[in-house]
Chains A and B, each alone.
Chain A
């Protein structure tokens, strides 16, 4: 067996257990070291992952380590480091038992990586469950806080429900086709004369499960409460990692597996995308709590991602499926996720900083931030504009790229809806910007920003701006990643 392909994953498991073990031996005062251990450990693994370029399959194609998987491995490790870094102050001051916190976080990173590299439905399901269970615990981590408990319970119940949907769809598929490997599914579907209704039901159930995990409307009910209740770094993690992991899986599954069925699933996803984009952004308009607002904003962003997923392959009027533009769309999707991820971390980190000093997470609590902490306000306003899709930030360029790709696939009207949705979103982003820069200070408590936090803020800001004005190195990486799953054969 060529286990060397997944050394980074083994190391991650080792790191998680190391953190758990260390937690036993460290006194309360030394627990802050756990953060350093996790960060440095992940940085070390990231370093290894950067230099690994072997490719191949494991367990007869259950796990596929190709350029695509390596890209997401690097991506998840990088955002894992970011989320560990931004958790530091929050965990130190708000959370007991940091050992489990970091260990579970590392397990979710591992799960996301294996989700992106799974080439088969059951592996994907197991990875998804590891990810979800980690997130259930993390959301409810603040256990003396009723909101956290409420969010956690909702998340677990609905999450379990959606997992059951996926599992049922999966068994249906396996029963009718006899395989769960993506590429075999594609071959079988292509050779079939007519597709039985049971098979379509199976795939629709899987799609519904994916929509649940992405918090697409009308499957979004769990999201706002879970986001609001979770500790802020976990909200950030939830809004980025789980979405990106699901979409990474979906891109592989759709383009390598069920693309022959595109005429059937495309309309469903388009409807979901429209509902999610418009609904998420409209609901965000009335929010008073920053975490809730960002929850709805991230639902809106899930809508843009769904729009990309729906149009991964083109379907002509006669129902012929073409993959001519799949490359462009998947590049757009990944680019948008990277930009969205960096931006969301930036804005959540600003929230954490404010929360740590003032204990407030409502929009009012941010008023006059520009004169209290100019750097935090600057990063926050830049991320707001980036989320709204305004230049010079990554959000603009990635949104333009994604929308352009979707329109090239022949869905100009859908893009029109997306652009209108992002116009709606501008209103509430600007409202937050107004509190930051224009409103008078309502709360005079000091906001403390450590030197390290400043460095992280500046790094995230630089990334946002670079992604907007000089995206070609990033696009080259994404290009090599998608090349490996979209081989022309």
Chain B
């Protein structure tokens, strides 16, 4: 039974789905049983994603763990095409990094969600459904299934935010969770409208009768003219860019992150936004290399706007979650800029930044969730001097903050450094301008993070606040996993970069070859 083998990536999709099935048959009132089963499933997924990361051979590179199953045939003038729609899975260097990230965030998110009391069974079912979609996107090499899983990872979001989320009150208006959930879902699905059209267009134009990326890739020089490529790359770039938080389509993201419950914010900012960037690489750059060359200057420019705009907006926020939401927009800007460099260093940096930001922002949201549970507020004007009462939580937030502003020795520095080098290398004058903007963005990040640290954590303790408990062992356990990876990537990024490079290189070679 080869499909039951441990090294079949489809297991990453199947296991969370299996979890959904098991949970479905457990009575809803047995909340603790639900928690334990969910944690076990998430732990197994974590183990498997570790297994893939460790056994990925970066000397060999390319795509590994390949499995393929026929799914549906399409009748047409192209004859009996063998791979019309196939469940075709495999893992390359980029995907394996993302899979590790997803495994980590999924597990820590599950552990953090132990405190959910309102129908936690439904919560975990939707949460696992979401994550199986995320894993599916990373492992599949068939455009139909790519889109299938892409939509699957957006779909449960509405109910997750709408049911377990929280509304936020501003002085003059209230932003309800229903509003944020609806906005997020509609905007993301609007993005996938563009992706859907582009995928169908590529299928039709290729004339191969197959949705398999390899089959379409074979006919790129013959069938995809430059005009076609540039038109549809733009479509894909915006479609995926919406999920990656590309300015000016980013507005769903802070609202969505703020309204979502902690674990969902972690997954959403940590993993889901990366799907957008991943899609640009996997579908856009791979299948439309000339289009990529045409539009990359725009992407890098918009990325720079993202960085600065996100950082400035974060500076103006008082709600802790909004600060982090906007900082995610800003950090995704680095990823987009890294993609836009079209150089090995820059792309390595972009993917490493995807990993680094994923872990970091998961830690951020986890910590903010802990604070909110204890104080029932996220307003940085109210909170003050938390370090005295919640020492460990303060340390965790500081660590995440320092990663975010790019302190050497932590993961953010390694990734951002690579991206900066890539930008300066790839473009001459514009490289200097955009590179400087990116560095300025990091400086602004330092401003708002340090200001927050100074006031909220190390300011004068507000004596009127009640005594708060510090983090529980469960929370420490979850956070420490994230911290380990932040420090590991910061101190020793070499193995990560090697693995990422093995995935990035062939894609880049193709783009350079096409020009």
Query: Which residues on A are within 8 Å of B, measured CB to CB?
Result: 324-325, 327-328, 331, 370-371, 374, 381, 385, 390-392, 396, 400-401, 403-404, 407-408, 410, 412, 415-416, 419-420, 423, 426-427, 430, 433-434, 437-438, 471-472, 475, 479
- Our pick among A391, A430, A475 for the contact of B151 (Cβ within 8 Å) is A391
Q: Which residues on the A side are within 8 Å of B465 (C-beta)?
A: none
In the complex, A419→B189 CA distance in Å?
A: 10
Name the distance in Å between A242's Cβ and chain B's nearest Cβ: 28
Q: Which residues on the B side are within 8 Å of A371 (C-beta)?
A: 119
Most buried by B among A370, A403, A404, A479: A404
Q: A412-B204, A415-B200 are in contact. Are A391 and B152 (CB under 8 A)?
A: yes
Q: A391-B151, A396-B148, A471-B72 are in contact. Are A419 and B77 (CB under 8 A)?
A: no
Most buried by B among A385, A396, A408: A408
Name the distance in Å between B235's Cβ and chain A's nearest Cβ: 10
In the complex, A404→B196 CA distance in Å?
A: 10
Most buried by A among B73, B189, B196, B204: B196
Contact B76 A325 (CB under 8 A): yes
Q: Which residues on the A side are within 8 Å of B201 (C-beta)?
A: 407, 412
In the complex, A489→B204 CA distance in Å?
A: 26
Q: Would you list which residues of chain B between 200 and 246 have a CB under 8 Å from chain A?
A: 200-201, 203-204
In the complex, the chain A residue whose C-beta lies closest to that of B118 is A371
Q: A324-B77, A390-B155, A408-B76 are in contact. Are A437 and B162 (CB under 8 A)?
A: yes
- Asked whether B496 is an interface residue with its Cβ less than 8 Å from the other chain, the reply is no
A374-B28, A416-B193 known; 4 other A-B pairs, CB under 8 Å?
A396-B148, A407-B203, A434-B162, A472-B73
In the complex, A282→B511 CA distance in Å?
A: 42
Name the distance in Å between B183's Cβ and chain A's nearest Cβ: 11
Q: Which residues on the A side are within 8 Å of B144 (C-beta)?
A: 400
Contact B158 A407 (CB under 8 A): no
Q: 5 tightest CB-CB pairs across the interface, nearest first? A: A438-B162, A407-B200, A324-B77, A391-B152, A391-B148
In the complex, the chain B residue whose C-beta lies closest to that of A381 is B159
- Asked whether B440 is an interface residue with its Cβ less than 8 Å from the other chain, the reply is no
Name the distance in Å between A414's Cβ and chain B's nearest Cβ: 11
Contact B76 A437 (CB under 8 A): no
Query: Which residues on B are within 8 Å of A, measured CB to CB?
Result: 28, 70-77, 119, 122, 133, 144, 147-149, 151-152, 155, 158-159, 162-163, 178, 182, 185-186, 189-190, 193, 196-197, 200-201, 203-204
Q: A427-B186, A430-B185, A434-B162 are in contact. Are A419 and B197 (CB under 8 A)?
A: yes
Main DSSP-derived SS at the A contact region: helix
Contact A408 B186 (CB under 8 A): no
Most buried by B among A325, A412, A416, A438: A438
Contact B162 A327 (CB under 8 A): no
Q: Which residues on the A side are within 8 Å of B73 (C-beta)?
A: 472, 475
Contact B204 A408 (CB under 8 A): yes
Name the distance in Å between A55's Cβ and chain B's nearest Cβ: 21
In the complex, A396→B151 CA distance in Å?
A: 10
In the complex, A420→B190 CA distance in Å?
A: 8
In the complex, A437→B186 CA distance in Å?
A: 18
- Our pick among B149, B152, B203 for the contact of A404 (Cβ within 8 Å) is B203
Q: A419-B197, A438-B178, A479-B75 are in contact. Are A407 and B155 (CB under 8 A)?
A: no
Name the distance in Å between A379's Cβ and chain B's nearest Cβ: 13
Q: Which residues on the B side are within 8 Å of A472 (C-beta)?
A: 70-73
- Our pick among A324, A416, A430 for the contact of B158 (Cβ within 8 Å) is A430
Most buried by B among A391, A426, A475: A391
In the complex, A407→B198 CA distance in Å?
A: 11
In the complex, the chain A residue whose C-beta lies closest to that of B149 is A391
